[in-house]
Amino acid sequence: MSDHAADDTVPEVDESRRKFLIAATAGTGAVGAVLTAVPFVASWMPSESARAAGLPTEVDLSKMEPGQMTTHFWRKQQIYVVKRTPEMLASLPSHDDELKDPESKDSDQPAYAKNETRAIKPDVLVLIGTCTHLGCLPKPRFTPGDAAVMANWPGGFFCPCHGSKFDLAGRVFQGSPASVNLKVPPYSFEGDNKLIIGVDSAAKGVA
Amino acid sequence: MRTSNYLVALALLLGAGAVSANEGGHAGWQRPANNEISNLPSLQRGARNFMGYCSGCHSLKFVRYSRLAEDLKISDSLRDTYIVKPGDKFSDYIKASMPAADAQEWFGKPPPDLSLVARSRGSDWIFNFLTTFYADASSRQTGVNNLQLPGTAMPHVLASVQGVQQAVWKAVEHKGEDGKAVVTPEFEKFEPGVVGGLNAEQYDEFARDIVNFLQYASDPTQVERQGMGIWVVLFLLMFTGIAYMLKKEYWKDVR
Amino acid sequence: MSATMEKSNGGFRAWLNKRLPIDQFMADQLTGYYAPKNFNIWYFFGSLALLVLVMQIVTGIFVTMHFKAGETTAWNSVQYMVREVPYMWLIQPMHAVGASFFFIVVYLHMARAFLYGSYKGPREVLWVIGMLIYLALMAEAFMGYVLPFGNMSYWGAQVIINLFGTIPGIGPDLVEWIRGDYGIGDATLTRFFSLHVIALPFIIALLVLLHLVALRQVGSNNPDGIEIKENLGADGKPKDGIPFHPYYTLKDIVGVGLFLTLFAIVVFFVPTFGGLFMEAPNFEPANPSSTPEHIAPVWYFTPYYAILRAVPDQKLGALLMALSVAAFLFLPWLDRAKNKSIRYRGLASKLLLGVFFVTFLMLMWLGLKPADGIYVLLARIFTVLYFAFFILLPFVSKADGNGPVPDRVTYHAH
C-alpha cells in the first residue's frame, strides 16, 4: 500500500541538521578522495628498479691522466670527473671578479665541496655535467687562452646551447645565461684511487 | 517482485557455496599447509632453507635480495652471509645457480622459476609436494617418486633432511568401465625408510617454512595489503553511515 | 549558498554560464529531472556501473604506464609493476577485481530490466544500446585478460579466437586475420592492447553517453512498470516523481559507499576470490606446449561457455552460443505483455522468469566445471531451459500480463 494519500502536514525541515550532515558527508568524502589519490600519485615515485639502478657508481682514478676528463652515469645523469693539473688549479683564484658566484654561495654542492677548488681532493673535480641554465651538456674547453670561447679564457666548460661558460671548478662566468655554478654530486673516496659517486663523504650512507 | 529477489539471492548463495567447495578434490593423504604468512621467524628460516637447498636449480627471478631482506627484516650482515649468493650484488634478482641448458639436459626440462608457484599451484600443493617423496628405485631414474606430482623429474633434494620414506600400497578392487572387477593399487600410508637429519614433525616444520617463504615471494605485500584493508573498510563503513543519515534526512520529504 | 557567496560568485558565475550552460544543465538534468519515487535496490546498479567504468579507466591509465605489450615483455612487466613500482600492488588488483565487479553490477542492472520490463517500449532503443555496451564490455574484458599473457590468457584466447573459425567459408581466414599470425603471439597481443586501451574505451564511453541520453529522453521505468508521466500534477511534474537531485544523488551516494566497502573487502582481503577473479593458471606465463588442466573463461563468460560445450557439434555449439547472447536484443519484441513489471503478471510469468534467473546462474556455475560426468547432462538441460525462456516468453507474456495495474506507484517511506 502506498503512503502518499491524504497526509497534508509537512514536517518542518531541520535546516541546520541538513547543513551539518551535508558538511559531514562532503568532508568525509573529500578526505576519502585525497586518501584514494595517494597510491596513484605515489606510484610515480622511483620504483625499486630505479633505486637499484641509482646505486653508487665507482670510478677507478688510477687510469686517468692529469688534465683528462671522463664521463660516467649516476642516477641517469652525466657526471664529469676531471684530473686537474697544478696549472689548472693555479688558474682558479685569478678571475673571481668575472664570476657570478665565486664562493659558491648560491649553488648546489655538498659541504665538503664548498671551498675554492669545489672538491675534497683538489686534483679530482667531480661535477654533474648538466648546464644549470636549461640542461644541455657543457663541453670541456680546457685549453687556456682559447679566444674562440672568450677573451682571457682560463680553461673550463662551454655550453653550446646558449653560450654559458664555467671555469675549471664549474663556477659560472658573468654574461652567461646560467645563473648558478655547476652542481657537485655527493661523492667520497675509498683509498687513493677509488671514487664513489653517490656516497657522501661525511656520512657513509647513500645519498 | 519480492519472490524473484529471494530466488536470486538463494541462487547466488548456492553458487557461492558451490564455489567455495570448488577447491579441488582432496585425496586422503593431502594435508593443508597451515603456514602463517605473518610469522616472521618462519619466513626467515624459509628464506634460508630456500637459498640453501632450492636456489641451486630454482630461480626466484622476480625477487630481489634487498627487497627480501627488507620485508623479512633480515639484517645486512645476515643477508650477505646466508641469502646473497657469492658474486651477486645485494640488489640483484635471485637466479638459479645451474645454467638452464644443463638443467634441460640432465632433467629433461629446466626447473621452473618459483616466484609465483604459491599462487599458481597453492601453498597446500607445495607442502604436499615437499613431504610426499618416497623411495621408488624400480621405475624412477632419480630413485624417488612423489604423490603430489607423480613422475616428477625432481630428485629428493631434501633427502638429507627428511630421509627417504617408503610408500605402502593396498590393493583395491572396484568396478572398471566395462563393469568387470579391476584391482588398482591405492596409497595407504608412509613408513620410515632411510632416516634423515630431522624427524617427521621437524621436517614438516622445515617444509612449512619453505612454503611460507614461497607464499611471501609470490605476493610480497599481502600482509601490508590486509593491514591497510582494515582501515579502508572501516573508513568506508563510516562514510556510508554518514551518507545514509544524510539520505534519510532528505528523504523525509518524500511521502 | 549564502548571499555573500552568491554576490562574489555572481559575476563570475554569470560570465561562465553565458559561455557554458552549466546552471541550465544542472537544472535540466538534475534538479529538474523527475524520476519515479519508488526505486528500490535494483535501481542502484546503473550509477554503480558508471562508477566502475570510471574506476577501470583511472586504474587502467596507471596500469598502462607500466605494462609493456609484447610477447616477451608483457608477463614480466606485470610482475615488475606489482613488485617494484610503489602502490601498483594495490592498483593492478583493483583493475583486475574491478573487471569482475563491472560484470556483477552489469548483470544485476540487466536483471532489473527483466524484473520490471524496462526493455519494453518506449525504452527499446535504450535496451539495445545497453546490449551494445554489454557486447563491447565483453570484448574489452576478453582482451584485457589476454594482455598479461599468462597461461590462461594464452589458452583462453586460443579457444575463443578459434570459435570464429566455425563461421562457414571465411572461418579459418578470419581467425588468422584476428590473430595477425599463425598462432597467438606478439601481433595478437599488441593489437589487443591498442583496442583495449584506446578503441573500446572510447566506444564504450560513447555508448554510455547515448545510453544516458536515451534514458533522459523517455524517463526511467520503475518497479511498478507504470509511466509516471501519465499522471502530472498541477505544476506539470509527475505526481509520482521526485527531483533526481537531491533525492537520488544522495541515495546513490549511499549505494556507492556500500559498493566500495564490498569492493575494498575483496581487493584487500581476497583479490583472487578463490581463483574466480584471477585464475590460478594465469600465475604461470603463457606456454604454448602446456594447456592448463581445465580451460575456463573468467566467470562472467561461463554461462555462454557452458552452452557452447553442451552442444556436441562444434559449429552448432558456436552458433547457439552466439544466439544465446543475441537473444537478449529481441526481448522488447518477444515480450508481449501489456504490463511491464513482474509485479502485475501472473504466476506463469513469475515462474518463467525465476527459472531463467536460476538457469543463468546454473549455466555460469557449470561453465566453470569440467565437461564430464553429470555436468554434461545438467548443461544440456539448462541450455534447453535457457532458450525455452525466449521461446515461451511471447506466449506466456501475452497470456499472463494484461491484468489491472494501479495508476499510482506503490511507495513505502524509507
CA atoms within 13 A on the CB side of C331: 28
In a domain, A17, yes or no: yes
Cβ atoms C66, C79 nearer than 8 A? no
* Average pLDDT over chain C, rounded to an integer: 94
Which residue does chain B place closest to C272, by CA atoms?
Answer: B119
Residue A61, amino acid: L
Count of domains observed in chain A? 2
Catalytic pick from A4, A72, A133, A162? A162
B20 touches chain C (CB under 8 A): yes
In a domain, A118, yes or no: yes
Average pLDDT in the C325-344 region? 95
How far is C253 from chain A, CA to nearest CA, in Å?
Answer: 10
What is the CATH number for A151? 2.102.10.10
- pLDDT tens track for C337-360: 999 999 999 999 999 999 999 999
In this structure, the answer to whether residues C255 and C133 fall within a common structural domain is yes
Q: Domain of residue B74: give its range.
A: 25-220
Segment holding A77, helix H or strand E: strand A77-83
Q: Per-residue confidence at C173, pLDDT binned at 50, 70, 90?
A: very high
> Given this model, what pLDDT does residue B185 score?
85
- pLDDT tens track for B45-75: 999 999 999 999 999 999 999 999 999 999 9
Q: At A106, list the grid cell.
A: 648560491
Average pLDDT in the B1-23 region? 54
C239 touches chain B (CB under 8 A): no
Segment holding A81, helix H or strand E: strand A77-83
Q: Per-residue confidence at C174, pLDDT binned at 50, 70, 90?
A: very high
Per-residue pLDDT of chain A (207 residues; tens, 9 = 90+): 444 444 555 668 888 999 999 999 999 999 999 999 999 999 999 888 888 888 888 899 988 899 999 999 898 889 999 999 998 898 888 888 889 998 888 888 888 888 888 999 999 999 999 999 998 999 999 988 888 888 888 889 999 999 999 999 999 999 899 999 999 999 999 888 899 998 887 654 444
Segment holding C152, helix H or strand E: helix C151-163
3-state SS, chain B, equals: CHHHHHHHHHHHHHHHHHHHCCCCCCCCCCCCCCCCCCCHHHHHHHHHHHHHHHCCCCCEEEEEHHHHHHHCCCCHHHHHHHHCCCCCCCCCEECCCCCHHHHHHHHCCCCCCCCCHHHHCCHHHHHHHHHCEEECCCCCCCCEEECCCCCCCCCCCCHHHHEEEEEEEEEEEEECCCCCEEEEEEEEEEEEEEECCCCHHHHHHHHHHHHHHHHHHHCCCHHHHHHHHHHHHHHHHHHHHHHHHHHHHHHCCCC
Which candidate, C54, C53, C1, C51, places its Cα nearest to that of C23? Answer: C1
**Cβ contact C253–A25 (<8 Å):** yes
**Burial zone of C409 (CB within 10 Å; 0-12 exposed, 13-18 middle, 19+ buried):** buried
In a domain, A160, yes or no: yes
In a domain, A27, yes or no: yes
Residues of A in contact with B239 (CB under 8 A): 25, 28-29, 32
In this structure, the answer to whether residues C193 and C245 fall within a common structural domain is yes
Residue B143: CB atoms within 10 A of its CB come to 15
Q: Per-residue confidence at B211, pLDDT binned at 50, 70, 90?
A: very high
pLDDT value at B23 more than 50: no
In this structure, the answer to whether residues C91 and C176 fall within a common structural domain is yes
* Secondary structure class of A187 (helix, strand, coil): strand
In a domain, B9, yes or no: no
Helix H segments across A68-202? 86-91
pTM score of the predicted model: 0.88
d(CA A78, CA A130): 7
Q: Domain of residue A20: give its range.
A: 13-45
How many residues belong to chain A?
207
pLDDT value at C7 more than 60: no
* Residue with the three cell numbers 595478437: C188
> Given this model, what pLDDT does residue C78 score?
97
Which residue does chain B place closest to A56, by CA atoms?
Answer: B91
Segment holding C342, helix H or strand E: none
* Residue with the three cell numbers 590462461: C152
d(CA C374, CA B135): 38
Mutate to test the interface with C, among B2, B3, B4 (most CBs of C within 10 A): B4
Residues in a beta bridge with A125: A82
In a domain, B202, yes or no: yes
> Given this model, what pLDDT does residue A6 score?
46
Residues of C in contact with B94 (CB under 8 A): none
d(CA C21, CA C1): 19
Q: At A203, list the grid cell.
A: 656520512
pLDDT value at C86 more than 70: yes
Cβ atoms C408, B249 nearer than 8 A? no
B238 touches chain C (CB under 8 A): no
Percent of chain B residues past pLDDT 90, beyond the cut: 62
Percent of chain C residues past pLDDT 90, beyond the cut: 88
Cβ atoms B62, B23 nearer than 8 A? no
In this structure, the answer to whether residues C333 and C190 fall within a common structural domain is no
- Which DSSP state fits A104? -
pLDDT value at B114 more than 60: yes
Q: At B80, list the grid cell.
A: 650477505
Pick from C84, C87, C409: which is nearest to A2 by CB? Answer: C409
Q: Per-residue confidence at B10, pLDDT binned at 50, 70, 90?
A: low
Helix H segments across C36-117? 45-66, 74-84, 88-116
Percent of chain C residues past pLDDT 70, beyond the cut: 98
In this structure, the answer to whether residues A40 and A59 fall within a common structural domain is no
B245 touches chain A (CB under 8 A): yes
Residues of C in contact with B63 (CB under 8 A): 83
How far is B70 from chain A, CA to nearest CA, in Å?
Answer: 12
Which candidate, B108, B95, B105, places its Cα nearest to that of B57? Answer: B95
Distances, alpha carbon C302 to alpha carbons B190, C153, C218, in Å: 41, 15, 34
- Which DSSP state fits A179? -
d(CA C37, CA C237): 12
**Cβ contact C86–A47 (<8 Å):** yes
Which candidate, B71, B62, B27, B17, places its Cα nearest to that of B224? Answer: B71
In this structure, the answer to whether residues A109 and A89 fall within a common structural domain is yes
Angle between helices B200-218 and B40-49 (to 10 degrees): 90
**Cβ contact C267–B218 (<8 Å):** no
**Cβ contact A28–B250 (<8 Å):** no
- pLDDT tens track for B137-196: 887 888 999 999 998 989 999 999 999 999 998 888 887 777 788 888 888 889 888 899
**Cβ contact A29–B239 (<8 Å):** yes
- pLDDT tens track for C251-262: 999 999 999 999
How far is B243 from chain A, CA to nearest CA, in Å?
Answer: 6
C414 touches chain B (CB under 8 A): yes
> What would the DSSP string read from start to end of A156-176?
EEE-TTT--EEETT-PBBTT-
Q: Per-residue confidence at B84, pLDDT binned at 50, 70, 90?
A: very high
In this structure, the answer to whether residues B243 and B178 fall within a common structural domain is no
In this structure, the answer to whether residues C251 and C325 fall within a common structural domain is no
Residues of A in contact with B64 (CB under 8 A): 48, 52
Q: What is the value of ipTM here, to two decimals?
A: 0.92
- pLDDT tens track for A141-172: 998 888 888 888 888 999 999 999 999 999 99
How far is A22 from chain C, CA to nearest CA, in Å?
Answer: 10
Cα B58 to chain center, whole Å?
15
What is the CATH number for C399? 1.10.287
Q: Domain of residue C315: give its range.
A: 298-406
Higher pLDDT, C8 or C185: C185
pLDDT value at C196 more than 90: yes
In a domain, C320, yes or no: yes
Average pLDDT in the B131-138 region? 90
What is the CATH number for B163? 1.10.760.10
Count of domains observed in chain B? 2
In this structure, the answer to whether residues B59 and B173 fall within a common structural domain is yes
Residues of B in contact with C364 (CB under 8 A): 15
In this structure, the answer to whether residues C251 and C372 fall within a common structural domain is no
How many residues belong to chain C?
414
